[in-house]
Amino acid sequence: MLSKSSKHNVLNFSGGVGGAKLALGLSRVLPSNQLSVVANTADDFDHFGLHISPDLDTLMYTLGEVNNRELGWGLDSETWNMLENLGQLGGETWFQLGDRDMATHLLRSQYLREGLLLSEATSKLCKRLGVTHEILPMTDHKVRTKVQTKKEMLEFQEYFVRQRCVPVITDIHFDGIEDALPQECFEKRLKDPDLSALIIGPSNPFVSVDPIISIPGIRSLMIDSDAPVIAVSPIIDGDAVKGPAAKMMRELNMSVSCSAIAEYYGDLLNGFVIDERDAQSAERIRNSGLKVLVTPTLMRTIDDRIRLATEILNFSLTIY
């Protein structure tokens, strides 16, 4: 099915929960040497002296099939004894740290203190989790999302978790982005003449995908690449499946629709994937010069993830 093309290396950009669903589907269809997943690291933060990488963790746990399906994040069979004790002792408990999950944060933080790069620490953890597909942090440099709200500037996790995305946002910044270099393998994969598709998962465009494409040089490498760039809409039928994407769009004075997402990515894209419920928007998006795939994009089951991944890969073959 995918043998029509001699090129076969796929690069997938992902945030956490939404992006990881598609990444899992892709990982079931493509062998390890044909898929690299690039993770947003602008959500990373320091908490109790530990380096926490929420999107990397979600990807590692999902591809390692140890993710917590009820919660949608974290590890399966999680317990919360440490957090309970932390609360009893008067510590901050707004960021949920599971007992099992703590092992990841402890070890990653130790690796970083010992001088390893975030990408090296990630690769060590992935190996132990049995993740064979490459998961790359977008950069080994420190980039941190700051959300400007009507009232104040907030650190991303402060906005996202502690204040549950309630404050009205007016702007989003990525601190440190000007000096960030793309992670070495990420840049190499993006420049690979055998790259067959770049797939932007249905992640939040403003806080999950934007940090990745805002790393200096990435946007032009994407545009110059011979591989088609395809994004999946996180907006279905005028709403986000989960999280603040729709709320952010309203606050940023955008209409909440899949076509607004396509417009937002603009000339970065060659193809766009929208849900069957948004079929009526296809023509408008096609008129802007994009190829459009209309298909069910809500991923509930593992079969949904595999089917969507397969359809997107086939769609990518029709673009050039």
Answer yes or no whether residue 140 interacts with Ca ion by CB under 5 A: no
241, interface contact from ligand GDP, Ca ion, none, CB < 5-8 Å by kind: ligand GDP
97, interface contact from ligand GDP, Ca ion, none, CB < 5-8 Å by kind: none
By C-beta, is 183 or 208 nearer to ligand GDP? 208
> Minimum Å distance from CB 34 to ligand GDP?
21
SS3 39: strand
Burial of 78 from C-beta contacts in 10 A (0-12 / 13-18 / 19+): middle
Chain residues binding ligand GDP by CB under 6 A are: 14-19, 21, 55, 58, 202-204, 208, 232-234, 236, 240-243, 245, 297-299
What does residue 259 show for φ and ψ, rounded to 5 degrees?
-65, -30
> Minimum Å distance from CB 204 to Ca ion?
7
Q: Are strands 235-236 and 153-155 parallel, antiparallel or unpaired?
A: unpaired
By C-beta, is 24 or 227 nearer to ligand GDP? 24
Q: Are strands 229-232 and 195-200 parallel, antiparallel or unpaired?
A: parallel
By C-beta, is 109 or 233 nearer to ligand GDP? 233
By C-beta, is 190 or 245 nearer to Ca ion? 245
SS3 99: helix
Short-list 74, 39, 31, 17, CA closest to 313: 31
Q: Which residue's Cβ lies closest to ligand GDP?
A: 18
21, interface contact from ligand GDP, Ca ion, none, CB < 5-8 Å by kind: ligand GDP
Length of the chain measured in residues = 320
> Minimum Å distance from CB 20 to Ca ion?
10
Structure-derived torsion over alpha carbons of residues 70, 75, 76, 78, reported in degrees to the nearest 10: -100
Residue pair 25/125 in contact (Cβ under 8 Å)? The answer is no
> Minimum Å distance from CB 43 to Ca ion?
4
Stretch that binds Ca ion, among 47-55, 114-122, 143-151, 227-235 (CB under 5 A): 47-55
- Structure tokens given for 290: 């994009």
By C-beta, is 86 or 306 nearer to ligand GDP? 306
By C-beta, is 228 or 243 nearer to ligand GDP? 243
Distance CA 284, CA 160 (A): 33
> Dihedral of CA 209/212/216/222: which sign?
negative
Stretch that binds Ca ion, among 38-46, 173-181, 188-196, 267-275 (CB under 5 A): 38-46
Distance CA 96, CA 82 (A): 10
Question: Which residues contact Ca ion (rule: CB under 5 A)?
Answer: 15-16, 43, 55
